[in-house]
């Protein structure tokens, strides 16, 4: 984010966020925080990225909070309430976010976006640092308790405040054949290219700079993406009279977020599509495997017939010799006896032909058990994969996607994902559960993916608690915590819990769903089964309309 974009973003954020209420602060990475605001008309999310390529903008991605908020995140939640103003330093990439805190105390949240690593610094009314994202003890002493001081700034000519001097500096740089080295601020290679293009249309430097000043004063930005000499840059305005497609489709924040996601790696949308493709491919593979098992089982459905033919050949060895391709024998196992034709191996002796059928008999018997095991394993994998697919459909944040990604990686179906969505802090299952209270006051807990379903069934459902699951389809495992008081659970409570089990299942859009109700002691996880797979020894069912928690 160059200084031109930085100043434009500060102006746009001041227009959109000033006088907004800060509702939540989420730290999604070591140097990335999201501040969630309510403007009185809409919810907006401001993202600060102080790692890698520092930037700040309004993000449209979903960002969920980790189980334990880091130090700076907790501090901002405690001290900041309402955003009063956003302004940028004139000659550097430093933005001030002026907040009101408890008891009307004023705080300055300072975002520095220069150097190899950005920073977020909270300063009190007396100018002292309360705390900051990255503490420093080098030339600038940035530590809690110290007075905050701006870094030494090179004094340059302002594009906004001294048009005559700025035009002269640009004219001199043009004569030196390197407009990008003009000693003005804010400035960037992209703006230098745009000014050069405008000059080719006959515009004067005074007219160009007046246009720049007017756009920044009004905040009427038209986002642009420019490419020249193997370089790409983003601009908040057009000077040459030709708007790029971005101007009609995007605001400044969306242009920046889209460009950064293209550089940083997969976006949430891209990762969702890739995970969906992996699941679809695996489902097709399992369907083919079931077809193969079915065909093999059909071919070897009657192993006893092979043994009978072997016995018949042994009883009739005198009827054929080596080189015979078939023989007619009397099948005395049938009543009345009938003549049957038996296929033979021409190169085998009569004794070897009989033994061949006994081998087919033994193989068919073994295969029957093998096919039964393969069928059960494949059906369990299908059931698990259906749950993973539902988890992907229900995902509302990067953390939800990460759980799906981990499951597929653990199962060996997906290589480790790289990029900004590649590695995240693993959230404990108990911190991901949905929770509610029934009309009778009983606590309800249910999972949102295979891992949390496994946790609900194995660790949160006591032997005498009630357990719920939509019958015959993937969905959440839900526990109603009642213990020894199960007799006090009313029918209304049961139907209330069942409605959530239905609402968080594949049948969430159906009018009615059949739901299993079982005692916790009857729910068991088979040995070596995948997460979220259980067997239920005894249960009854209820039919309910699906229900979900308010968004």
State residue 421's pLDDT score: 45
In total, the chain counts a number of residues equal to 551
State residue 242's pLDDT score: 59
Please determine, for residue 272, whether its predicted confidence score (pLDDT) is greater than 70: yes
Residue 287 CB partners (closer than 8 Å, separation 6+): none
Please determine, for residue 250, whether its predicted confidence score (pLDDT) is greater than 70: no
Average pLDDT over residues 513-528: 94
State residue 220's pLDDT score: 87
Higher pLDDT, residue 343 or 116:
343
Tokens 């078939």 correspond to 326
CB 72 within 8 A of CB 120: yes
- Strand pairing category for 184-185 and 224-228: unpaired
φ and ψ of 215, to 5 deg: -65, -45
CB 407 within 8 A of CB 392: no
Strands (E), 392-442: 434-437
Closest of 2, 6, 9, 54 to residue 253, by C-alpha = 9
Considering the chain, what percentage of its residues have pLDDT values greater than 70? Answer: 90
pTM equals 0.54
Query: In this predicted structure, which of 260-269, 302-311, 449-458, 498-507 has the lowest mean pLDDT?
Result: 260-269
Find how far residue 141's CA is from the centre of its chain: 38
**SS3 label, residue 489:** coil
Considering 144-148, 179-183, 377-381, the range whose residues carry the highest mean pLDDT is 144-148
CB 466 within 8 A of CB 539: no
Cis peptide before 186 (omega within 30 of 0): yes
Predicted confidence band of residue 419 (pLDDT cuts 50, 70, 90): very low
Please determine, for residue 323, whether its predicted confidence score (pLDDT) is greater than 60: yes
State residue 398's pLDDT score: 65
Top-level class of domain 3-142? mainly beta
Helix (H) or strand (E) segment spanning residue 66 = none
State residue 3's pLDDT score: 92
Please determine, for residue 300, whether its predicted confidence score (pLDDT) is greater than 50: yes
Mean pLDDT, the chain, integer: 87
State residue 66's pLDDT score: 61
Considering the chain, what percentage of its residues have pLDDT values greater than 90? Answer: 49
CA distance 299 to 310: 18
Query: 295 is written with which tokens?
Result: 């065909």
Predicted confidence band of residue 6 (pLDDT cuts 50, 70, 90): very high
CA distance 201 to 239: 10
Average pLDDT over residues 127-140: 90
Predicted confidence band of residue 301 (pLDDT cuts 50, 70, 90): low
């Amino acid at each position: 984010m160059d200084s031109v974009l930085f100043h434009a973003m500060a102006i746009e954020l001041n227009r959109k966020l000033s006088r907004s209420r800060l509702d939540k602060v989420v730290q999604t990475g070591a140097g990335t925080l999201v501040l969630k605001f309510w403007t009185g008309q809409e919810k907006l999310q401001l993202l600060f990225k102080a790692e890698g390529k520092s930037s700040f903008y309004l993000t449209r991605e979903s960002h969920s909070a980790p189980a334990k908020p880091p130090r700076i995140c907790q501090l901002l939640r405690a001290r900041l309430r309402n955003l009063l103003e956003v302004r940028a330093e004139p000659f550097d990439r430093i933005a001030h976010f002026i907040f009101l805190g408890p008891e009307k105390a004023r705080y300055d949240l300072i975002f520095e976006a220069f150097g190899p690593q950005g920073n977020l610094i909270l300063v009190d009314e007396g100018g002292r640092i309360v705390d900051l994202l990255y503490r420093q003890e080098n030339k600038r002493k940035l530590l809690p308790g110290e007075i905050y001081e701006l870094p030494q700034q090179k004094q340059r000519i302002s594009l906004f405040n001294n048009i005559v001097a700025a035009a002269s500096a640009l004219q001199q740089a043009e004569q030196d054949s390197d407009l990008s080295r003009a000693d003005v601020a804010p400035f960037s290679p992209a703006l230098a290219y745009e000014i050069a293009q405008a000059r080719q249309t006959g515009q004067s430097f005074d007219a160009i700079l007046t246009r720049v000043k007017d756009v920044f004063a009004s905040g009427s930005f038209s986002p642009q993406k420019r490419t020249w000499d193997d370089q790409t840059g983003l601009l908040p305005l057009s000077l040459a009279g030709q708007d790029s497609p971005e101007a009609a489709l995007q605001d400044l924040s969306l242009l920046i977020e889209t460009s950064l996601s293209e550089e940083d790696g997969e976006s949430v949308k891209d990762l969702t599509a890739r995970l969906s493709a992996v699941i679809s491919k695996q489902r097709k593979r399992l369907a083919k495997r079931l077809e193969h098992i079915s065909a093999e089982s059909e071919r070897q459905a009657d192993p006893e017939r092979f043994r009978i033919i072997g016995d018949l050949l042994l009883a009739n060895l005198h009827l054929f010799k080596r080189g015979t391709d078939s023989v007619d024998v009397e099948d005395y196992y049938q009543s009345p006896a009938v003549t049957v034709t038996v296929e033979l191996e021409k190169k085998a002796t009569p004794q070897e032909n009989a033994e061949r059928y006994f081998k087919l008999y033994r193989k068919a018997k073994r295969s029957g058990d093998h096919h039964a095991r393969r069928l059960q394993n494949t059906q369990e994998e299908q059931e698990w994969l259906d749950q993973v697919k539902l988890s992907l459909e229900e995902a509302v944040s990067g953390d939800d996607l990460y759980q799906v990604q981990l499951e597929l990686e653990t199962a060996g179906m997906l290589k480790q994902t790289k990029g900004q969505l590649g590695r995240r802090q693993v959230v404990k299952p108990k911190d991901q559960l949905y929770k509610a209270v029934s009309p009778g006051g009983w606590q309800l807990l249910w999972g949102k993916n295979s891992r949390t379903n496994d946790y609900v069934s194995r660790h949160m459902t006591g032997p005498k608690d009630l357990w719920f699951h939509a019958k015959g389809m993937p969905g959440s495992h839900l526990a109603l915590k009642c213990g020894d008081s199960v007799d006090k659970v009313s029918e209304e409570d049961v139907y209330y819990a069942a409605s959530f089990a239905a609402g968080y299942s594949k049948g969430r859009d159906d009018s009615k769903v059949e739901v299993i109700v079982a005692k916790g002691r009857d729910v068991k996880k088979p040995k070596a089964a995948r997460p979220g797979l259980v067997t239920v020894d005894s249960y009854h069912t209820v039919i309910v309309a699906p229900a979900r928690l308010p968004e």
